[in-house]
């Protein structure tokens, strides 16, 4: 590795793993590098915020979403580098009108500016353009599904 610079990604990744696995310490060594990350017990910084005791109601809860029920699914994909996220709260539509073919499907090549979906908010339909050229690897938001601000719609790679 580069002697002078820290491999930040590696540290962040280990930190994430620490969280995910609820482990307290990870030591990671290759021939060239040894990294150890530790999180001391207990005081999770958000731990005092009460968790609702009620079971989630009608709508499907997002996996791994503690606390209040999140709207859509796969909200952890919001951090995916290829995620195109919703710029508004509303309802996502895959096609320009009912029965029409979808704007995009997995595997499609798209150009920057090409419409990926519509988001209906306040009775207006807002096209969501592709932010760059790419390939649709996954359509995340369901057709006619409610989406919140920042929720991933499509993964573009």
Partner 1 sequence: MFDKVLIANRGEVALRIHRACREMGIKTVAVHSTADSDAMHVRLADQAVCIGPPPARDSYLNKAAVLSAATITNADAVHPGYGFLSENADFADMVAEHHMTFIGPEPEHIRRMGDKIAAREAAKEAGLPVVPGSEGALQDEGEALAMADEIGYPVLLKAASGGGGKGMKVVRGPNELASAYRTTRSEAEAAFGNPALYLEKYLEAPRHIEIQVMADNYGNVIHLGERDCSLQRKHQKVVEEGPSPALNADQRAAIGDLAREAAASLGYSSLGTMEFLYEDGKFYFIEMNTRLQVEHPVTEMISGVDLVREQIRLAAGAPLEYGQESVNLCGHAIECRINAENPHTFAPSPGRVTEYHAPGGLGVRVDSALYSGYRIPPTYDSMIAKLIVHGNGRNECLMRLRRALEEFVVEGVQTTIPLHMDLLTAPDFVNGVYDIHWLEKYVEAAQA
Q: Which residues bind a copy of itself (CB under 8 A)?
A: 1, 3-4, 6-18, 20-41, 43, 45
Minimum distance from residue 24 beta carbon to a copy of itself (Å): 4
Minimum distance from residue 75 beta carbon to partner 1 (Å): 9
Hey, what's the torsion of the CAs at 100, 101, 104, 110, to 10 degrees? -100
CA distance 157 to 151: 17
| 153 contacts 86 by C-beta, under 8 angstroms | yes
CA distance 42 to 152: 32
Minimum CB distance to partner 1 smaller for 73 or for 134? 73
Partner whose binding site includes residue 11, from partner 1, a copy of itself, none (CB under 5 to 8 Å by kind): a copy of itself
Write out the two tokens for 32.
């060239």
Contact residues: partner 1, CB under 8 A: 41-54, 57, 59, 66-71, 88-91, 121-122, 146-151
Minimum distance from residue 48 beta carbon to partner 1 (Å): 4
Partner whose binding site includes residue 10, from partner 1, a copy of itself, none (CB under 5 to 8 Å by kind): a copy of itself
Partner whose binding site includes residue 100, from partner 1, a copy of itself, none (CB under 5 to 8 Å by kind): none
Write out the two tokens for 38.
């530790």
Partner whose binding site includes residue 144, from a copy of itself, partner 1, none (CB under 5 to 8 Å by kind): none
Q: What region does 122 belong to: left with phi over 0, alpha with psi -120 to 50, or beta?
A: left
- Other beta carbons less than 10 A from residue 7's beta carbon: 12
């Amino acid at each position: 590795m580069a002697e002078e610079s820290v491999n930040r990604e590696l540290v962040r990744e280990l930190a994430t793993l620490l969280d995910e696995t609820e482990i307290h310490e990870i030591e990671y060594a290759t021939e060239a590098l040894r990294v150890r990350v530790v999180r001391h017990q207990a005081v999770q910084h958000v731990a005092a915020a009460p968790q609702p005791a009620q079971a989630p109601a009608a709508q499907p809860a997002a996996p791994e979403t503690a606390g209040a029920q999140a709207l859509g699914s796969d909200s952890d994909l919001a951090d995916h580098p290829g995620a195109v996220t919703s710029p508004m709260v509303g309802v996502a539509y895959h096609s320009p009108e009912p029965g029409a073919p979808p704007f995009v499907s997995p595997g499609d090549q798209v150009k920057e500016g090409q419409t990926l979906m519509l988001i209906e908010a306040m009775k207006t339909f807002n096209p969501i353009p592709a932010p760059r050229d790419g390939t649709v690897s996954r359509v995340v938001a369901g057709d006619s599904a409610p989406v919140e601000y920042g929720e991933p719609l499509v993964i573009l790679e």
